[in-house]
Amino acid sequence: MEENKITFNTIDEYILQFPPEVQETLNTLRKVIKEAATDAEEKISYQMPTFALHGNLVHFAAYKNHIGFYPTSSGIAAFKQELSEYKGAKGSVQFPIDKPLPFELISRIVKYRVAENKKRAQDKLKKKK
């Protein structure tokens, strides 16, 4: 039924659909995430750019009025105070598209998620032994 729905195979394809100024923001966001999660794999999941390392780390997406950042509920909870000025939900935060993104904060959230996923993977290994 949804034949008109665009599907993306790469993050590059996803980013290219937006106007140049949004592409610039998304490319910077992607770079910040890559630097904070050097071993993470890029993929498209839920039709959003996704970084994965021992499971999904973070997703991001652009909308008309905001950039959505999805570091799971634990990533939001750990930085609740610093994210309080932004709209959000249990596992997401909305950064207004017309304001600079808090890249330093995003980097810290991604690093937190990397540590969390690595610990979870190590704990699983210990249980198997």
pLDDT tens string 32-90: 999 999 999 999 999 999 999 999 999 999 999 999 999 999 999 999 999 999 999 99
pLDDT higher than threshold 50 for residue 1: no
For the whole model, what pTM was predicted? 0.92
How confident is residue 3, by pLDDT bands cut at 50, 70 and 90? low
d(CA 123, CA 100): 37
What backbone torsions phi and psi does residue 69 show, to the nearest 5 degrees?
Answer: -125, 130
DSSP lists the bridge partners of residue 61 as 68
DSSP lists the bridge partners of residue 21 as none
Q: Which CATH number fits domain 11-128: 1.10.3720.10, 3.30.420.80, 3.40.228.10, 3.90.1150.200?
A: 3.90.1150.200
d(CA 37, CA 114): 6
